[in-house]
Amino acid sequence: MRQLAISITICFMTVFLCETGFSQNNEDKLSNLNIDLDFKVEEVIKKPYSINADIEAEETIGFFDHDALLFKQKYLDKKEEDLYWQSDFNLTIEGQYEQDKIKLYGRFNGLFYHNVDEKWAIERKVEEVYLSFQPSFSLAIDAGKKVHRWGKGYAFSPSAFFAREKNLEDTDATLEGYYSLSADYIKSMDGIIKTIAVTPVLMPVSRELNHEMGPQDELAWGGKIYLFSFDTDVDFMFLISDNMDDSIGLDFSKNLMPSFEIHGDAALVKDYHQTVIDEYGNTSEQEYKAFNFLLGLRYLSNQDTTFILEYYRNGEGYSAQEYENYLTFIERGYDQYLNSYSKTDISKSKTYAAPYNQQAAMKNYLYLKISQKDPFDILCFVPAITIIYNMNDQSWVTTPQISYSPVTNFTIGLKTGFLIGDHKTEYGEKISKAKIILSIQYFF
């Protein structure tokens, strides 16, 4: 599997390099084409309401890694299949109604899926629904469920204090918001600072509302100040809470050259609390100031190849030794089960699984994405490859993918994922070692 992943990765890299030297040489067949250049604005006349939707069918084939410790933790020895299949039908509906200075916006998602474990199941979610009041061009007040996507990182967002974590497998996917009351005040000026924007946020946390954010009822608050100065975007943000970790952060983004952008995010989390488990299952608590940051760049070549590279320091993550201890404890638990059918230790390891099994659970990561627009003159065809490299244990995941839109509003995608790593490494011990996803998406 490692060799296959490396071969596919090299193939994709070769495509990007080949494209560099590829010359476009098409015959002009358009001389007799009759082109209608009539444009009636009535076709796009504004209505007070609008509704859009997209539907996506997706088939996933996963390859289990029976030797992986997280596989053993989840299934013990009770799963014999090498493959798993999942069929997903995803419908997203987005609508808005606007009247004078008031706008109601909503985005709803329904996922109907099938796999061997859960059979047919349905998940519904209100991703966003909020009322927006805009008394002037400078001021807007929003109340409801809304996504506050702060930060400049493509893959990681350490300063997105009021947002859910991005899915590293699909960083552009929509997120579910949190219920909040927020405002946006924008002021443009002629001095050194061209624009300043202030975004205060109030977020109630209770058992019924935003319970994922914190353990107890409270009203968390925070904000973001955006400045545009010297052709640079800069944000300062903070979160203050009784029960969550108080945090401050900043981000920036700037084009050093027309095709070369640099960006960064940083966040300091006060009194970050972490539970660490050792190889025998003993736990200890530690509390410290966690400093998370990323530095990234984006480069567009003359051949329309985009490179995104980010280094991410996860101050809230585990060290290589701490992570290895956790995996060793799972290994002991599995051995205990094989020897005595006792699930005591394996069950205990599951209790602490959430922070350890989450994506990017360790300290240092590199993210690289290379995508090529319209290679070999195939318009609307985009091959891309993403690599996430865990610098602490040298394990990595590579995701070669292609997407193609042969006709307007219709996209076909093929994505593969390979997880590579030695014994007791993050990506070497995940439940599956490879994945193939075929998707078809239609917008209307």
Partner 1 sequence: MKKIFIILCLSLFYSMTAFALDGNEILKKVDRNLNPESFEMYRKLINIDPDGTKKEFVMFSLKKGKDKIASVFLSPASEKGRSTLRIGENMWLYIPNVGKPLRITSLQSVTGGVFNNSDIMRVDYSAEYNCEKIKTTEKGYTLHLKAKHRSVAYETVTMFIDSDKLLPYKIECYAASGMLIKNLYFKKIKDFGNGTIRPSIIKTDSPLYKGYKSYIVFANVKTRTLVDEIFSLNYMHKIDSLRQ
Binding mask 413-432 for partner 1 (x = CB under 8 A): --------------------
Q: Which two tokens stand for residue 21?
A: 């030297």
Q: Which of these segments, 213-221, 298-306, 330-338, 419-427, binds partner 1 (CB under 8 A)?
A: 298-306
Q: In the 8-state DSSP scheme, what is residue 170?
A: B
Distance (Å, rounded) from C-alpha 426 to C-alpha 439?
A: 27
Q: Scanning residues 309 to 348, which ones bind partner 1 (CB under 8 A)?
A: none
> Rounded to an integer, what distance in angstroms lies between the CA atom of residue 83 and that of residue 59?
13
**Sole residue written with tokens 């109604």:** 97
With CA atoms as reference, report the closest residue to 357 among 426, 274, 272, 286.
Answer: 426
Residue list 397-416, contact with partner 1 (CB under 8 A): 405, 408-409, 411
**Going by C-beta distance under 8 Å and a sequence separation of 6 or more, which residues neighbour residue 321?**
none
**To the nearest whole angstrom, how small is the minimum distance from the Cβ of residue 215 to partner 1?**
27
Nearer to partner 1, 159 or 395 (CB): 159
Q: Residues 104, 181, 234, 380: which binds partner 1 (CB under 8 A)?
A: 380
**Nearest distance from C-beta of residue 203 to partner 1, angstroms:** 17
CB of 279 to partner 1, least distance (A): 41
Nearer to partner 1, 39 or 120 (CB): 39
The alpha carbons of the chain give a radius of gyration, in whole angstroms, of 24
Secondary structure of 356-398 in HEC code, one letter for each residue: HHCCCCECEEEEEEEEECCHHHCCCEEEEEEEEEECCCCCEEE
| Max Cα–Cα distance, the chain, nearest Å | 80
> In terms of CB distance, is 28 or 285 closer to partner 1?
28
Q: Binding to partner 1 by residue 20, rule CB under 8 A?
A: no
Of 147 and 276, nearer to partner 1 (C-beta) is 147
Tokens found for residue 408: 């307007």
Answer yes or no whether residue 176 interacts with partner 1 by CB under 8 A: no
Q: How far is the CB of 21 from partner 1 (least distance, A)?
A: 14
Among 14, 188, 216, 283, indicate the residue that binds partner 1 (CB under 8 A): 188
Tokens, residue 100 = 């004078």
Between residues 56 and 218, which has the closer beta carbon with respect to partner 1?
56
